[in-house]
Amino acid sequence: MIPYSRQSINQEDIDEVIRVLQSSHLTQGAEVELFENAICEYIGCRYAVTFNSATSALLAAYSVAGIKEDDEIITSPISFVATSNMFISLGAKPVWCDVKLDGNIDERFIERLITPKTKAIVPVDFAGKPVEIQKINEIAKKHDLLVIQDSSHAFGSEVEGKKIGTFSDMTIFSFHAIKPLTTGEGGCIVTDNEEFAQSLKLFRSHGIVKKQYWNSDMIALGHNFRLTEFAAVLGRSQLKRIDEFLEKREVIANYYDERFQGHNLFTTVKPDMNTRSSRHLYPIVLSPALACPKENIFAELQDKGVGVQVHYKPIYQNSFYKKMFGETHLHVSDDFYRCELSIPCHQEMSHEDAKFVADTFLEVIEKYSYRGCSF
Ligand SMILES: *Cc1c(COP(=O)(O)O)cnc(C)c1O
């Protein structure tokens, strides 16, 4: 089966990890710092603080932003649950804003959700396609809110030639195995704000600062959210090939775009002018008539070796959130979940693989085209 996404590890990655495993130092140290410097250089930001996952990074970002009990955060429901979960663990409340047909937060609806309790806007660059970050920043500035971007999908994505990570107060990337760049598990926050960077480093490592000789002092509450040295060296080795990865996914996505152009049973998500998407996912939005047999389409594609997946069940539809906040219905988000399928798009795929996926997908979709229902 061709998975919807997967990592790409070469011999150099392996050699580098082995080199570090054979060294005297395995936990956060010089390699982590080298990786963070390399991230800053690639993104074009002042500070990069790595974490053992993007989930830890989200908790850290929200914490140093001062988000606390009863605060409200405006965010997207079309995301992995961690984006909202980490507010909950601080006692804050996610306020979900509906999305657009591309799965990104609909910036036109943000302002009406702002209350005196709102502290931040947390958009998600779905599938790697940048959100309308300039418009979101304007709204945030007008209402004195922070913008914390969950860019777990969007390492390497750009707006007007500038990398995602240079636009918001803090930007989070995930280095999970299937994300654009991997350290196995891992994540990172980039920022230009020195105070945030210092606080993030404390939060990551027990809130302890070193003093002279044996003396250290714990000055804030912290965790152990550190990355290992061998994960960091893997990340730095991967970073050398990130543009190659992005290029390969772009070629596959462009091929799909061409094959699927003008199709009336589904639409695809196109990057906006003057932007670049990491193409972390290739989402297909089925026409509503096909959403009913989506389970059958999904199963048949998987049977035929096409590893499709669905991104995402709106966060508010999970039982945990229903218990906490009752039923939530956002029109476009609900429809998006009914209609979305992500087809394989990653750097380990050959052109033949992409052709196989496109052929199989079209064959299955056309087979179901007359069996749909409406809702
Ligand atoms: C993967 C992902 C996360 C969580 O990342 P981890 O590194 O697995 O903790 C958070 N948000 C989004 C949008 C993601 O896709």
Q: Residues with beta carbon inside 6 Å of ligand 1?
A: 53-55, 79-80, 82-83, 124, 150, 152-153, 174, 176, 187
- The predicted-structure confidence for 70-87, as pLDDT tens digits, reads as follows 999 999 999 999 999 999
Q: Check which CATH number belongs to the domain holding 126 and give it.
A: 3.40.640.10
Mark whether 266 and 216 lie in a shared domain: no
pLDDT value at 47 more than 70: yes
Half-sphere exposure of 2 (CA within 13 A, CB side): 22
Measured between alpha carbons, how far is 214 from 95 in angstroms, rounded to an integer?
A: 46
pLDDT value at 373 more than 70: no
Model pTM score: 0.97
Contact 23, 157 (CB under 8 A): no
Strands 282-286 and 266-268: antiparallel
Give me ligand 1 centre to Cα 352, in Å. Answer: 30
pLDDT at 117: 98
Measured between alpha carbons, how far is 175 from 185 in angstroms, rounded to an integer?
A: 6
Which residues, in sequence order, are bridge partners of residue 125? none
> What per-residue string of b and e applies to 123-137 under the rule 16 or more CB within 10 Å gives b?
bbbbbbbbbbbeebb
Mark whether 196 and 281 lie in a shared domain: no
Strands 93-96 and 72-75: parallel
Mark whether 174 and 34 lie in a shared domain: yes
Ligand 1 atom nearest the C-alpha of 187 is: 7
Q: Check which CATH number belongs to the domain holding 364 and give it.
A: 3.90.1150.10
Does a structural domain hold residue 375? Answer: no
Could you tell which of 81, 175, 176 is best to mutate to test the pocket of ligand 1, judged by most ligand atoms within 8 Å of the CB? 176
Half-sphere exposure of 260 (CA within 13 A, CB side): 27
Angle at 239 between CA 234 and CA 244, to 5 degrees: 125
The predicted model gives 194-208 an average pLDDT of: 98
Give me ligand 1 centre to Cα 117, in Å. Answer: 26
Mark whether 185 and 297 lie in a shared domain: no
Q: Which of residues 206, 239, 272 is at a domain's end?
A: 239
Contact 44, 166 (CB under 8 A): yes
Do you find a cis peptide bond into 312, omega within 30 degrees of 0?
yes
Mark whether 163 and 266 lie in a shared domain: no
The predicted model gives 26-36 an average pLDDT of: 97
Mark whether 221 and 276 lie in a shared domain: no
Measured between alpha carbons, how far is 331 from 341 in angstroms, rounded to an integer?
A: 18
Show the tokens assigned to 61: 């970002």
Identify the band that residue 375 occupies on the pLDDT scale cut at 50, 70 and 90: very low
- The predicted-structure confidence for 144-160, as pLDDT tens digits, reads as follows 999 999 999 999 999 99
Contact 121, 133 (CB under 8 A): no
Does a structural domain hold residue 204? Answer: yes
Mark whether 259 and 345 lie in a shared domain: yes
Does a structural domain hold residue 233? Answer: yes
User: What residue type is 168 in one-letter code?
Assistant: S
The predicted model gives 10-38 an average pLDDT of: 97
User: What residue type is 2 in one-letter code?
Assistant: I
Mark whether 14 and 129 lie in a shared domain: yes
Q: Which of residues 179, 204, 239 is at a domain's end?
A: 239
Task: Name the nearest CA neighbour of 67 among 92, 86, 95.
Answer: 92
Does a structural domain hold residue 268? Answer: yes
- The predicted-structure confidence for 276-296, as pLDDT tens digits, reads as follows 999 999 999 999 888 778 999
Q: Provide the domain count of the chain.
A: 2
Q: What are the C-alpha distances in Å from 345 to residues 120, 126, 350, 358?
A: 32, 14, 10, 11
Mark whether 135 and 272 lie in a shared domain: no
Give me ligand 1 centre to Cα 342, in Å. Answer: 16
Give the residue, by CA position, lying nearest to ligand 1 atom 6.
Answer: 54
pLDDT value at 371 more than 70: no
pLDDT at 293: 86
Residue-number span of the structural domain to which 188 is assigned? 2-239
- What is the percent of the chain where pLDDT is above 90? 94
Mark whether 304 and 177 lie in a shared domain: no
Identify the band that residue 372 occupies on the pLDDT scale cut at 50, 70 and 90: low
Mark whether 163 and 305 lie in a shared domain: no
Mark whether 184 and 249 lie in a shared domain: no
Measured between alpha carbons, how far is 301 from 105 in angstroms, rounded to an integer?
A: 29
Residue 110: exposed, middle, or buried by beta-carbon count in 10 A (0-12, 13-18, 19+)?
Answer: buried
Give 3-state DSSP helix, strand, coil % of the chain, rounded to 5: 40, 20, 40
Ligand 1 atom nearest the C-alpha of 186 is: 7
Angle at 151 between CA 148 and CA 153, to 5 degrees: 165
Per-residue 3-state assignment (H helix, E strand, C coil) for 239-301:
HCCHHHHHHHHHHHHHHHHHHHCCCCCEEECCCCCCEECCCCCEEEEECHHHHCCHHHHHHHH
Does a structural domain hold residue 172? Answer: yes
Ligand 1 atom nearest the C-alpha of 178 is: 1
Does a structural domain hold residue 374? Answer: no
pLDDT value at 368 more than 90: no
The predicted model gives 97-119 an average pLDDT of: 98
Does a structural domain hold residue 194? Answer: yes
Q: Which of residues 239, 263, 293 is at a domain's end?
A: 239
Half-sphere exposure of 315 (CA within 13 A, CB side): 24
The predicted model gives 210-237 an average pLDDT of: 97
Give the helix ranges, DSSP H, for the chain. 11-21, 30-43, 54-64, 82-88, 133-142, 194-204, 229-239, 242-260, 288-291, 294-303, 319-325, 331-339, 351-368
Does a structural domain hold residue 158? Answer: yes
- The predicted-structure confidence for 300-344, as pLDDT tens digits, reads as follows 999 999 999 999 999 999 999 999 999 999 999 999 999 999 999
> What per-residue string of b and e applies to 298-317 under the rule 16 or more CB within 10 Å gives b?
bebbeeeebbbbebbebbbb
Measured between alpha carbons, how far is 243 from 252 in angstroms, rounded to an integer?
A: 14
